[in-house]
Amino acid sequence: MSLDVQVPDAPETIAASAATLSTIPPLEHGDHMTRDEFERRYEAMPEIKKAELIEGMVYLPLQAHYRSLGDIPLEQGDHLSQEEFMRRYEAMPELKKAELINGKVYMASPVRFDRHGEQHGCFAIWLGIYRISTPGVRMGDNATIRLDGDEVPQPDVLLMIDTPTGSESPIGSATIRADGYLAGGPELVAEVSASSASYDLREKKETYRLNGVQEYIVWSVYDQKLSWFRLEAGEYALLNPDDDGIIRSRVFPGLWLDVGALLKDDMAAVLTVLQQGLASEEHTAFVQRLTTANKQE
């Protein structure tokens, strides 16, 4: 199914579209939905020139320019090897984000402040403070990861146990390659997703599971829901908040999250709970274990 529409010139039409978007989620590349839902969202976004629904997945057009006519650009939906994906991606420095999931190219839509950017920032603040308070742990924002097979995700935020350069016995599960890219699944990945229809909870979740990412967090903005998965016996199990509304990381002791406060944008409460986790005996013992392991290297 392929649809084409013209961009409206009338300011009042654009204003009406903006008002509609406040209640109807926008189309996002990679979303999975029915034809009726696709058409409902598409009709609410007259500024989009083209969108397609192929086998239940949304495809949006690439809007990037290339350094030379001789370059072969990345295109949404292409099936590539990891090597070819990286070659084309590195030839497109103006492209902000692209991923290769199960051999298929996914390219990000423009990022809205109140539907992705702000939530991404909240994750970065929460995980960044934990990183600062936990020697031996590193955090990355939009870092490309080279995994097994044709898998090259670029998660919003990640947290990993650091392995010193040249170490013969890695402490963490991810390492930094000579070319600067990460190799192997980090211990924790956090993604901001438009809704539960996103590929963050489908193809990408499966990629992280198969590559041993121990904890995977997805914030579904439109659904006002946070899903925290823990890898157990090779499968992802959903972690639920305790009676006090807090989820406590199993792989990063002291990383505590007040889920209700996060969803209500009460970052002061989120950071208060995090500080309680950082002051816990389990966090102190974790830092000591990392310190001892690094000294042995």
pLDDT at 2 over 50: no
The pLDDT > 90 percentage for the chain reads 52
Which band of pLDDT confidence, cut at 50, 70 and 90, is reported for residue 148? confident
Alpha-carbon distance 275 to 269, whole Å?
10
The range of the structural domain enclosing residue 251 comes to 113-296
pLDDT at 18 over 60: no
Which band of pLDDT confidence, cut at 50, 70 and 90, is reported for residue 122? very high
Distance from chain centroid for Cα 32: 17
Could you tell me if 116 and 193 are in contact, meaning their C-beta atoms sit under 8 angstroms apart? no
Question: Of 146, 140, 208, 139, which is closest to residue 178 (Cα–Cα)?
Answer: 146
Which band of pLDDT confidence, cut at 50, 70 and 90, is reported for residue 164? low
One domain, residues 292 and 238? yes
One domain, residues 127 and 15? no
Contacts of 128 (CB under 8 A, 6+ apart): 139
One domain, residues 90 and 200? no
Of 76, 110, 144, which residue is a domain's last? 110
Mean pLDDT along residues 62-75? 54
One domain, residues 187 and 262? yes
The pLDDT > 70 percentage for the chain reads 84
Phi, psi of 210 (to 5 degrees): -65, -25
Average pLDDT value for the chain: 84
Q: What is the CATH number of the domain that holds 161?
A: 3.90.1570.10
The first and second tokens of residue 27, run together, are 């189309």
Determine which of 131-135, 178-182, 236-240 has the lowest per-residue pLDDT on average. 178-182
Own/partner long-range contacts of 235-241 (Cβ < 8 Å, ≥24 apart): 235/209, 236/205, 236/209
One domain, residues 191 and 272? yes
pLDDT value, residue 177:
87
Q: What are the pLDDT digits (tens) for 218-271?
A: 999 999 999 999 999 999 999 999 999 999 999 999 999 999 999 999 999 999
Of 77, 110, 143, which residue is a domain's last? 110
pLDDT at 81 over 70: yes
Could you tell me if 188 and 249 are in contact, meaning their C-beta atoms sit under 8 angstroms apart? yes
Report the domain count for the chain. Answer: 3
